Amino acid sequence: MKKGAFRTVYPWLFLLPTVAVIAAFRFAPMLYALTMSFYDWGLAGARRFLWLGNYAALLRDDRFGQALLNTVYYVVGVVPSGLLAALLVAILLNQRIRARGWLRTAFFLPVITSTVAISLVWKWIFNPRIGLANQALQWLGLPPAQWLDEARGVFAIVLSPLGVDLPPALAGPSLALCAIMVMSVWHHLGYNVLIFLAGLQSIPHYYYEAASLDGAGAWHSFRHVTWPLLSPTTFYVLLMTTITSFQMFIQVYTMEGPTGGNPMGTTRTLVYYLYEKGFAEWQMGYANAVAFVLFLIILALTLLQRRVVERRVHYQ
């Protein structure tokens, strides 16, 4: 082997163990799952090749359509509100306030807590009989809500006292799904706050000094200094929050039960529907078709965000 060729191949020898592990435990299962999506692949019995039959069946599946709509509702509700809440809290915790270190720790604690444990706690909070949520409504003089058992859309609930009867297509996400959104935003708030804090502290202070000399107040400093220089951090948080929101599963699965969970399928997300098809009905081929449709949706949105949103990102 020539010396130049050896120098080209030599670094790959160090990467070979890692590449082999990734290929064996990442790419090989993905290719196997993709192969399964083209078959009528049950738990036992003959496996029949369907080509694109499973994907065509998804277009006629009302439960898949509802799961996709619920997932879109969840993403649209969680991503913007989660970004805004995290940014506001990060700006607050970036100030010189008392007990700042303790507050940062308190906001980050839910991130390192088990999602199952947090879901069970919030399931108790939304309990219609003894939950804190209904006690808060009672204190405000409002009627109690069924929270995780309510299948009606929130827009229909808000407008019903006014005599407005909305059709199901305009009723919005169910109250049960909105309750799960609130819990999810709270659960992931600490991680996003940490990322925003890192972005805020990476902005050189002399930019603010220059803005102050030009007569800029707090709002103009935020608009013309903080927000543009924080755009790379915001883009990262937006990208990752969108991806993780499409993969939401544990919250719905854990909150099922006699006092909450999936009323009339209004909290069924794509990943939860995948679980139902694969591990409850044992239709593994159909479940893998759902998985790859979800993969294509996430991939398309990621590419769209990188093509559209990243243009507005200002790198120093």
H-run or E-run covering 207: helix 205-213
pLDDT score recorded for residue 232: 92
- For residue 100, what are the domain limits? 58-312
DSSP-assigned states of every residue in 229-269? HTHHHHHHHHHHHHHHHHT--HHHHHH-STT-S-GGGTT--
Rounded Cα distance between 265 and 44, Å, is 28
Q: Is 181 helix (H, G, I), strand (E, B) or coil?
A: helix
Instruction: Quick: pLDDT tens for 269-315.
Output: 999 999 999 988 889 999 999 999 999 999 999 999 998 888 888 77
Closest CA to 74 of 149, 170, 151, 177: 177
> φ, ψ for residue 86 (rounded to 5)?
-65, -40
Is a pLDDT exceeding 60 seen at residue 257? Answer: no
Question: Is residue 7 a part of any domain in this protein?
Answer: no
pLDDT score recorded for residue 188: 92
pLDDT score recorded for residue 136: 92
Is a pLDDT exceeding 80 seen at residue 2? Answer: no
Question: Is residue 8 a part of any domain in this protein?
Answer: no
In degrees, to the nearest 5, what angle opens at C-alpha 280 toward C-alphas 188 and 240?
A: 20
User: For 61, how many CA atoms within 13 A lie in the half-sphere containing its CB?
Assistant: 20
Question: Is residue 295 a part of any domain in this protein?
Answer: yes
What CATH number has the domain bearing residue 177?
A: 1.10.3720.10
Rounded Cα distance between 295 and 297, Å, is 5
Rounded Cα distance between 62 and 265, Å, is 11
Question: Is residue 123 a part of any domain in this protein?
Answer: yes
Count how many domains the chain has.
Answer: 1
And the tokens for 181? 């959104």
Q: Which residue has the tokens 């604690």?
A: 109
Q: Which residue has the tokens 């435990």?
A: 25
Question: Is residue 44 a part of any domain in this protein?
Answer: no
